[in-house]
């Protein structure tokens, strides 16, 4: 995939930045050499031309890794990348010399000193631009990798989540049929609505936090049929956060984790709260608690990776009783 071009994406802002960068370098060099006022203006003009040509050239030129054979070794790709950058720099330098001659009448190849000094100016500017491009490419590659890993984890979660939830609900329905057929029928209808909402969620990269809370309410309604009066829950969503976009099924594994590990081994009443406010979501239960060094299972790892890929985080704050987990969007 071709690298994104900053020059094409934001041409006006890029041009302003290129002119300022080149003028600043030209001014610094002129002052360092003790030039006169006219020489300072000329030096700033030459620097601006250098910066514009070099930045545009390095930004718009294709990267070697985009067209070199993928089966080549890393060292071979690196060698040809360096060779390509040197040839590109020489070509851009020739273009710059021509434009400077047209714009200012100065022949940058008139003497050895002038040629060497301007070569160094161009090298300094191109080094700044090349470093910027390299850092941006590295950061973008890391983010793309994080998103790809999060997506892969999400697909794995999809494969795990649907049968897991379905089996729990079917067990509840099976237990209710001989005892209370009417409640079993109600549970079947709730399960159907719940699964339809999950299937709809998987078709979208994001939905509102309000929709995520509606899904949690459906899940907890199903679980209450299984737990009976033992289970009570409290869902509180700040109206200011209702429309906030989140990744679908982000909170579902955390609530299921509380039900499975916090409540299932516990004897007696169980209470669960999910509170969203101030850009954070806290899920807290009064179950059996969680060991501080307990490993995170697939569901928790997936939530953490998806949050980190989107710039969020997952924390385990202390809880008065049971366990608490905090999601920061």
Mean pLDDT (whole number) for 240-262: 88
71, 161: one domain: no
125 lies in some domain:
no
Q: What is the pLDDT of residues 105-128, one digit of tens each?
A: 878 777 676 666 666 666 666 666
Q: Domain residues for 34? A: 6-110
Which CATH number is 229's domain given? Answer: 3.30.565.10
pTM for the full model? 0.53
253: tokens are 């594994």
49, 193: one domain: no
Estimate to the nearest angstrom the gap between the alpha carbon of 217 and the chain centroid: 29
Q: What is the pLDDT of residues 50-61, one digit of tens each?
A: 889 888 888 888
> What are the backbone angles phi and psi of residue 73, rounded to the nearest 5°?
-70, 160
135 lies in some domain:
no
- 3 state SS of 287: coil
Tokens 């067990």 appear where? 171
C-beta separation of 284 from 272 below 8 A: yes
Strands of the 231-237 sheet, one edge to the other: 231-237, 270-277, 280-285, 323-328, 313-315
What pLDDT is attached to residue 1? Answer: 46
């Amino acid at each position: 995939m071709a690298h994104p071009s900053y020059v094409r994406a934001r041409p006006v802002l890029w041009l302003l930045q290129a002119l300022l960068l080149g003028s600043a370098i030209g001014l610094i060099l002129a002052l360092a050499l003790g030039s006169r006022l006219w020489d300072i203006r000329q030096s700033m003009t030459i620097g601006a031309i250098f910066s514009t040509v070099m930045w545009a050239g390095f930004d718009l030129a294709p990267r070697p890794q985009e067209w070199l054979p993928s089966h080549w070794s890393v060292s071979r790709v690196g060698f040809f990348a360096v060779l390509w950058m040197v040839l590109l720099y020489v070509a851009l330098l020739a273009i710059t010399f021509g434009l400077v001659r047209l714009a200012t009448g100065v022949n940058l190849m008139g003497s050895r000193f002038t040629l060497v000094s301007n070569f160094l100016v161009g090298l300094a500017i191109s080094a700044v631009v090349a470093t910027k491009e390299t850092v941006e490419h590295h950061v973008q590659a890391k983010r793309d990798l994080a998103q790809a890993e999060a997506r892969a984890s999400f697909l794995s979660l999809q494969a795990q989540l649907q049968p897991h939830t379905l089996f729990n609900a079917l067990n509840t329905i099976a237990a209710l049929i001989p005892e209370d057929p009417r409640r079993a029928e109600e549970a079947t209808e709730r399960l159907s609505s719940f699964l339809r909402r999950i299937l709809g969620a998987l078709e979208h990269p994001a939905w509102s936090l309000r929709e995520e809370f509606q899904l949690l309410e459906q899940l907890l309604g199903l679980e209450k049929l299984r737990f009976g009066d033992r289970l009570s829950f409290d869902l509180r969503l700040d109206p200011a956060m209702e429309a906030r976009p989140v990744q679908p099924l982000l909170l579902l594994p955390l609530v299921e984790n509380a039900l499975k590990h916090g409540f299932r081994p516990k004897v007696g009443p169980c209470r669960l709260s999910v509170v969203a406010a101030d850009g954070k979501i806290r899920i807290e239960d009064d179950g059996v608690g969680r060991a501080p060094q307990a490993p995170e299972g697939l569901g928790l790892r997936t939530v953490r990776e998806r949050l980190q890929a989107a710039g969020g985080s997952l924390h385990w704050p202390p809880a008065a009783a049971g366990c608490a987990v905090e999601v920061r969007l």
